[in-house]
């Protein structure tokens, strides 16, 4: 096998490219904050909250320090605490389950639909019945890779047993389910602004979106030590604040989010066209969903061999996620829903996230796809 000479590696993502694309506006925003002298809890955060709530179609957005904090605080604000159970998936970032554990609740891990990698609603229904879910419990659907979970069915299941639905939207900025924005369907939605996200800061951050006035107020209190307006703590909260610099940067990037997502979808379409019908399984797009392709994930036998081949030829890929949450030692004792987690474990052995970010040239996607087709041909010889 001859290794190609390539001028530049193709990386999985490039947060710096997002800055460079809008550097003049971002620099202006940063200088405005620095000159203003207020770096926390100022006008930039307030403006971002209003703008992001409008974008998501919710009454409220409350900015916090990270996506993990956003999910924890959203759950706590909805009444999830010690004695609660939270039904979610193991095929997700560890942060999802970490946030649940930090509330004092017990995660119950449910297997996935192998076609979408989102929570299997039939197995979710079985798990809710098996554990006798009630109003003290919650469901956390993860809109994995940028495609929303089946929120109509999940909402019905939650309403049927009284469980609160809190959406994990960390990978779903701009995603929609039958016209509704991710995060606006459940009681609350938790977003991350980690730098590689579709809407990413130049540091960390997150937000809770909700139409529930009481949830918004409680998230705001819990994110600031549990304080009321007189700075009296009524609950044990966190120090979880988005700073003014990150808010100003995010306000610039929010203006370009729809265009950025269109660019991601163009790259995804290029992959689709060049890989369709081959040995890798390409992502399924569900009818009624607007997939924003935070990740473009294929599934292939011999995943690690393909990844090594791509690396040798100038393409770096990631795996989301190589080890399901329930196989991490810290979470090994978590209860599982009925039926086990076999699909989750099978997915972890075969998924591969191809390079995708808005500024990535279509020629790079074409090269990645050509290499995969070549590898598949060599592997089949």
pLDDT at position 378 over 90: no
Q: Are residues 244 and 263 in the same domain?
A: no
Q: For residues 353-357, give the mean pLDDT.
A: 98
pLDDT of the residue at 279: 85
User: What average pLDDT does the segment 231-253 reach?
Assistant: 96
Asked if residue 1 belongs to a domain, the reply is no
Q: Which of 200, 220, 255 is the last residue of a domain?
A: 255
Helix (H) or strand (E) holding 177: strand 176-177
Name the nearest CA neighbour of 187 among 213, 209, 165, 157: 165
- Return the pLDDT at 73: 98
Identify the residue whose tokens are 């924890």.
72
Quote the pTM value: 0.95
- Whether 5 maps to a domain, the answer reads no
Q: pLDDT confidence of 380, banded at 50, 70, 90?
A: very low
Residue 334's pLDDT band (boundaries 50, 70, 90)? confident
Asked whether residue 247 falls in the same domain as residue 373, the answer is: no
Based on the fold, state whether residues 54 and 135 are members of the same structural domain.
yes
How sure is the predictor about 7, in pLDDT bands with cuts at 50, 70 and 90?
A: low
- Residue 151's CATH number: 3.40.640.10
Which pLDDT score is estimated for 379? 55
Do 298 and 357 have their domain in common? Answer: yes
Taking residues 64-79, report their average pLDDT.
98
Please give the order of strands across the beta sheet that includes 180-181.
180-181, 176-177, 289-290
Whether 230 and 107 map to the same domain: the answer is: yes
- Give the pLDDT confidence score for residue 6 in this predicted structure: 45
Q: From the CB of residue 234, how many other CB atoms can be counted at a distance below 10 Å?
A: 12
Answer whether residue 2 is part of any domain: no
* 91 and 213 both lie in a single domain: yes
Residue 11 lies in a domain: no
| Residue 247 shares a structural domain with residue 326 | no
Residues 249 and 263 in one domain: no
Given 211, 231, 255, the domain boundary residue is: 255
**Looking at the predicted structure, is the pLDDT value of residue 381 above 70?**
no
309 in a domain, yes or no? yes
Domain-located, residue 222: yes
Domain assignment present for residue 4? The answer is no
Tell whether 238 and 340 lie within a shared domain: no
pLDDT tens by residue, 160-169:
999 999 999 9
Compute the distance between CA of residue 215 and CA of residue 60 in angstroms, rounded to an integer. 9
Tell me what pLDDT residue 103 has: 98
Residues 54 and 176 reside in one and the same domain: yes
HEC assignment per residue over 226-295: CECCCCCECCCCCECCCEHHHHHHHHHHHHCHHHHHHHHHHHHHHHHHHHCCCCCECCCCCCCEECCCCC
Could you tell me if 324 and 349 are in contact, meaning their C-beta atoms sit under 8 angstroms apart?
Answer: no
The string of pLDDT tens digits covering residues 103-135 is 999 999 999 999 999 999 999 999 999 999 999
Last residue of a domain, one of 255, 283, 318: 255
Residues 57 and 197 placed together within one structural domain of the fold? yes
Look up residue 368 and give its two tokens.
């990645």
Reply yes or no on whether the pLDDT at 1 is more than 80.
no
- Split into its structural domains, the chain has a count of 2
Q: Of 148, 109, 95, 91, which is closest to residue 299 (Cα–Cα)?
A: 91
Do 199 and 317 fall into the same domain? no
Residue 230 has pLDDT above 80, yes or no: yes
Q: What is the pLDDT of residue 277?
A: 87
Q: What percent of the chain has pLDDT over 90?
A: 93
- What pLDDT score was predicted for residue 155? 98
What pLDDT is stored for residue 377 in this prediction? 87
By residue range, what is the domain housing residue 117? 18-255
């Amino acid at each position: 096998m001859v290794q190609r000479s390539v001028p530049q590696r193709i990386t999985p993502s490039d947060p710096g490219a997002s800055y460079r694309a809008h550097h003049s506006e971002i620099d202006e925003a940063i200088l405005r904050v620095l000159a203003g002298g207020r770096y926390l809890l100022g006008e930039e955060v307030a403006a971002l909250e209003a703008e992001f709530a409008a974008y998501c179609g919710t009454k409220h957005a409350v900015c916090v320090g990270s996506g993990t904090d956003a999910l924890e605080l959203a759950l706590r604000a909805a009444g999830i605490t010690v004695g609660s159970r939270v039904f979610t998936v193991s095929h997700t970032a560890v942060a999802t389950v970490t946030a649940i554990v930090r509330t004092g609740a017990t995660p119950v891990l449910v297997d996935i639909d192998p076609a979408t990698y989102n929570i299997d609603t039939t197995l979710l229904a079985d798990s809710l019945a098996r554990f006798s879910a009630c109003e003290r419990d919650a469901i956390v659907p993860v809109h994995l890779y940028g495609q929303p979970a089946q929120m109509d069915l999940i909402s019905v299941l939650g309403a049927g047993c009284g469980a609160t639905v809190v959406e994990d939207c960390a990978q779903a900025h701009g995603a929609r389910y039958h016209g509704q924005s991710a995060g606006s369907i459940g009681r609350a939605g938790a977003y991350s602004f980690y730098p590689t996200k579709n809407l990413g800061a130049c540091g960390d951050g997150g937000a809770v979106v909700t139409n529930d006035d009481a949830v918004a107020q409680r998230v705001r209190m819990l994110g600031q030590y549990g304080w009321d307006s007189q700075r009296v703590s009524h609950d044990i909260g966190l120090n979880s604040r988005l700073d003014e610099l990150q808010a100003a940067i995010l306000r610039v990037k929010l203006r370009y989010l729809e265009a950025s997502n269109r660019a991601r979808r163009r790259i995804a379409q290029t992959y689709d066209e060049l890989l369709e019908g081959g040995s890798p399984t390409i992502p399924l797009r569900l009818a009624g969903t607007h997939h924003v392709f935070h990740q473009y994930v294929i599934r292939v036998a011999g995943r690690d061999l393909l990844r090594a081949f791509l690396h040798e030829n100038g393409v770096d890929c990631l795996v989301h996620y190589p080890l399901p949450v329930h196989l991490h030692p810290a979470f090994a004792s978590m209860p599982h829903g009925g039926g086990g987690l076999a699909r989750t474990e099978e997915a972890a052995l075969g998924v591969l996230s191809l390079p995708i970010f808005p500024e990535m040239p279509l020629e790079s996607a074409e090269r990645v796809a050509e290499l995969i087709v070549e590898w598949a041909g060599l592997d089949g010889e």
